Structure 1
């Protein structure tokens, strides 16, 4: 195995671990500050590594500013609203459940792309994948359960909102930004920077210092969610896209739900057999949707989807 391949695999595994651990960090922080304050600090500490790398590589251009409306939309869909919905959902749910529900993001992305971009070919296999995936979401949410054994429906709703928001951002980016010829690192810098501005205006600062009451929660927020979960995660993602290709890189979304579930077990959140079945249904559904179609005549994979 070539060294460059080994480094890409290490980056791939690291990114899955980083994203999967985000949920427990959000859970710890939610005990001391509000979800919007969590997101503000996360974006604040995550923005600087992205900005530093963008400046180092010289990818920022003044002429890019004419596209600011697109950057603004992406800052809301792919950062501010997405992060807030997940922080709010995680505050209301066990971190393991929130992490498992996040595994449905590719399902929402596929459905939205098929509805609004018409770039996804609809066939029986993909319909089965979507149905299987959303069945897993339903089994995790278990809306039929009430009382002590049930989950907070608002928490589930916020996780779905966050997934829809991020899925919508992919559709918007493909439709309006794919031809802008702006480096992905520059797009991320503008996106996260505008999100930081929005959050700085919208966030109430009263009680923000409460996060300092717990060194573990503070470290998890600043280092886990901010520096690593937002800043370094962007760098790792672009690295594996460059080294492994977009299709292979997208499979990193399989790892965070598994990591979140394992961390939840380690911190004593418990595990139901149904949760394992449900998560498996989601991951298999995502795999079925993303699985390339084999051309019988040539044996070449069709990666248009």
Structure 2
């Protein structure tokens, strides 16, 4: 069992690294493709391994189709809008800054749960953590400064909008999907499948060929951000939920902002001010304070339907 846990923690570290690297892959791809086509490639490439994994587990059921409207909402919140906002934000910002701002996702989850979920206790320590996290966001934005080196406002708003979208998707999943007893890998399959169908209908797929002018950009988007950063990453996440539990697995979301910061500053040569590093630390401190207050909004995901066995769940 100890060796199994060692393997799980190795996958935990790998998952944090892969998710953190997706920002630089998106940044490189943005030189060749507009945000919508970046999202198209990422979602479709992510959908394929998730579908195969779900089929291997026999997690898909015909009765799930009666909840198609919920899957459609999740496909928008946790895939199409989320990835589009991040792609548009990374196009305008250094990948390191975008990665640091993504640390606000748990803050939006908590805020959404406090507003829309009944029975969620609001403790002073939770409010302190929330305020601390958003203070870190404001330090990165520096709205009081006229410095030309300050981050692009539109780019920051895109990243924050994407963080809010995926953060609220967790709240939506808990309120409407958790009581259904549907396996999380099935939920992820449906949302990525619907998002793929929508994007294929909206985008001219022929324009994707432009990225093949640079093999590094193409491999980074198709393999790094798509296959590994979306599809295989989700399958690893569900493995971690099974091995380590939902709470420990969810803590992996603290790693990508740090990884994005290191990759952007070290390997991509992105300039980074000391105040940005302080701001990232403030955001992560706020998330830690909020989570350690005992009010993590998605700590318990599912109340199974009568007659169905309990299953651990996770963000889809």
Fold shared, TM-score > 0.5 on shorter chain:
yes
Partner of 1:254: 254
Whether 1:33 and 2:49 are equivalent positions in the alignment is no
1-side partners of 2:245 and 2:111: how far apart? 22
1-side partners of 2:13 and 2:211: how far apart? 29
1-side partners of 2:56 and 2:247: how far apart? 28
2-side partners of 1:204 and 1:76: how far apart? 19
Partner of 2:182: 182
Partner of 1:275: 276
Greater shift, 206-215 or 38-47, is seen at 206-215
2-side partners of 1:240 and 1:247: how far apart? 10
Partner secondary structure for residue 207 of structure 1: helix
CA deviation after TM superposition for structure 1 residue 304, in Å = 6.6
Mind listing any 5+ residue stretches in structure 1 that lack a counterpart? 295-302
Mind listing any 5+ residue stretches in structure 2 that lack a counterpart? 302-316
Partner of 1:144: 144
2-side partners of 1:35 and 1:233: how far apart? 21
Cα RMSD over matched residues?
1.6
Whether contact under 8 Å (1:145, 1:151) holds in the other structure is no
2-side partners of 1:293 and 1:97: how far apart? 29
Q: How many residues align?
A: 297
CA deviation after TM superposition for structure 1 residue 147, in Å = 5.3
CA deviation after TM superposition for structure 1 residue 219, in Å = 0.4
2-side partners of 1:190 and 1:122: how far apart? 33
Q: Deviation digits for residues 144-180 of structure 1, max 9, x if unmatched?
A: 3335212211100101110111111111111111111
Q: Deviation digits for residues 166-201 of structure 1, max 9, x if unmatched?
A: 111111111111111111111111110000001111
CA deviation after TM superposition for structure 1 residue 126, in Å = 1.1
TM-score of the aligned structures, taking structure 2 as reference length: 0.91
Partner of 2:291: 290
1-side partners of 2:227 and 2:205: how far apart? 21
TM-score of the aligned structures, taking structure 1 as reference length: 0.94
Give the 5 Å matches for 1:104-123: 104-123=104-123
Partner of 1:202: 202
